[in-house]
Amino acid sequence: MHAQSSPPLDDTERALVRLALAARERGYRFVTPTPATHERVNSRPGNRWAGDLRGILGWSRPFKAENLPGELFALMQQAQILDSAEGGWRSRLRLSSLDGQLYWHSAYPTTEADAVFFGPDTYRFVQAIGHYLGSCKTPIARAFDIGCGTGAGALSIALARPAAQIWAGDINASALRLARINAAVAGADNMTVRHSDMLGGATGAFDLIVANPPYLNDSMQRAYRHGGGSHGQKLAAAMLAAALPRLAPGGTMLLYTGTAFVDGRDTFLEAARRVLDDGSHNRRWSYREMDPDVFGEELDSPAYRDAERIAAVVLQVDSR
Average pLDDT, the chain: 92
Domains (range + CATH), the chain? 11-106 (no CATH), 120-319 (3.40.50.150)
Overall average pLDDT of the 179-190 stretch: 97
pLDDT of 86 above 60:
yes
CA 29 to chain centre: 18
pLDDT at 222: 66
pLDDT of 1 above 50:
no
Ranges 14-28, 180-194, 212-226: which has the least confidence: 212-226
Burial pattern 100-131, b for ≥16 Cβ within 10 A else e, equals ebbbbbbbbebeeeebbbbbbbbbbbbbbbee
pLDDT of 57 above 70:
yes
List, in sequence order, every beta strand (DSSP E) within 176-279: 191-195, 206-211, 247-262, 265-266
* DSSP-derived pairing of the beta strands 309-319 and 101-106: unpaired
Helix (H) or strand (E) holding 37, with range, is: helix 35-42
pLDDT at 7: 78
CA 195 to chain centre: 15
- pTM of the predicted model as reported, rounded to 2 decimal places: 0.93
pLDDT per position as a tens digit, 270-313: 999 999 987 666 789 999 999 999 988 888 998 899 999 999 99
pLDDT at 2: 44
Residue 281: Cβ-neighbour burial (10 angstroms; 0-12, 13-18, 19+): exposed
- Using alpha carbons, select from 172, 155, 158 the residue that is nearest to residue 20: 155
Neighbours of 212 (CB within 10 A): 27
pLDDT at 234: 85
- Using alpha carbons, select from 273, 270, 257, 253 the residue that is nearest to residue 310: 257
8 A C-beta contact, residue 193 and residue 151: yes
pLDDT of 4 above 60:
no
